[in-house]
Chain A
Amino acid sequence: MSSVEREGKEIRSLTHKNEKCVGCGICSDVCPTTAIKMGPLLPIARGLVKMDYLTINKNDCCLCGLCASSCPFDALELDINGINTKKMDNYPLWTHDASIDSETCIYCGRCSTACPTDAIFLQRSLPDVKELVRGETEVDQDKCIQCGVCEEMCPAEAITMDRNDINSSNPSIASSVDIDESKCIYCGICRRACPVDAIKIVCTTCMERDEIVNPEIKGDIILDEDTCIKCGWCQEVCPVDAAEVTKPFEGEIFLRDDFTCKGDSCHACADVCPCNAISIVEGKSVINPIFCILCGACTKACPQQGIILKRKNMNLENVKSKAWTNRLADLLED
């Protein structure tokens, strides 16, 4: 006679973070117990109803964690005895990724402006004006009639007229007119505008035809892993190839041939797309695959099922269970 015994206590908790969720429904598609019910995607995305993208039926959920492992947005997390399964060796791991090489980055800010989830933070220090333009200025205080025209017209706000309190014992309007050379850009507006020709100004940078040396723009660029959805916008708009993105899925997405898209009236696909990959052009939905991550939210929001999604591969590694492999294969094209 032989026997095997095991005793222990395991606490599992599944958490849904709605702020990271895009409502794509991948979790619901893979759930083996149909415990995840998706809410009305478009009304939620448009802010017409206030509810979470999904609800998990506590009685049906078996806390297996397949939903958490397959969510490309980390919107679901399964903790076992307080440890996130994404940190465990025997659970799957997404290899989708986005990074910006700060050595190559020129801090132009294009990625930060384009990022649909505001995941990129840029701080930069611009060169001093003095590094870009040099010159000389002189105000002939004897000729100057203190009219203030130069002060009013200076585009660099470099000229100040030191006004006096007018009184009968000191009838002068101002004690002096000064040009602040740390602000002056030597454009010559003041010289041309002065009605009495009291200002001399030369731009030595222009006169000598200085060779322009671009001073280095220093900065910091931070990509927030937490909010980044690996959509590829940064990679596409970066002029120096400093951004690199690996998306969660590979495959294709297109409109059904016989589908009459009512994009102007509907635009549900564009409203739910987390990647800003869809625009309505001449009344029809146009999906730009460069920015699409194949999450499938648009296919579910389209009221006429006009969008065809064919995922060929998912960048999820270390799937050890055969049952999970089979279940995840349902996300891919046969």
Chain B
Amino acid sequence: MVVIIDKEKCGGIADCPGEGLCIKLCEQGAIKEVDSEPVLVPENCDDCDLCIQNCPNQAISKG
């Protein structure tokens, strides 16, 4: 199971109600900002699911 960020649902950091909340919440540095969008760094992910639960756009899931 790997974390997937749905780009369409996400809509980019500029329009995020949490201003990139997933990046701020992840203390493992498993989500980084690339061209104003959150991008997963799979090798850093600890599968804690914080990003999934807290994404204001429900754009993050596991598949």
Contacts and interface: CB of A to CB of B under 8 A. Distances in A.
Contacts of B17: 49
B25 to A, nearest CB: 7
Contact of B25 (A42, A262, A304): A42
Contact of B54 (A43, A264, A265): A43
Contact of A262 (B21, B46, B54, B56): B46
Contacts of B18: 40, 43, 48-49
Nearest to B52: A303
B25 A43 contact: yes
Interface string B8-52: 000000000110010011111000000000000000001111101
A265 B3 CA distance: 15
Contacts, number: 45
Main secondary structure of the interface of B (DSSP, over half): loop
Contacts of A40: 18, 21, 54, 56
Contact of A303 (B24, B48, B56): B48
A231 B58 CA distance: 34
B21 A265 contact: no
A262 B47 CA distance: 8
Nearest to B51: A303
B21 to A, nearest CB: 6
A48 B28 contact: no
Contacts of A264: 46
A234 to B, nearest CB: 32
B54 A42 contact: yes
Of A43, A49, A265, the most chain B CB neighbours within 10 A belong to A265
A265 B48 contact: yes
B50 A265 contact: yes
Nearest to B55: A40
Interface in A242-297: 262, 264-266, 268
Contacts of A49: 17-18, 21
Contact of A48 (B24, B46, B47, B52): B24
A43 B21 contact: yes
Interface of A: 40, 42-43, 46, 48-49, 262, 264-266, 268, 303-304
Given A265-B26, A266-B46, 13 more contacts: A40-B21, A42-B50, A43-B21, A43-B25, A48-B24, A49-B17, A49-B21, A262-B46, A265-B50, A266-B48, A266-B50, A303-B48, A303-B53
Listed from nearest, the 3 A-B pairs whose CB atoms lie closest are A262-B48, A303-B53, A303-B49
6 contacts: A42-B54, A43-B21, A48-B18, A49-B17, A266-B50, A304-B48
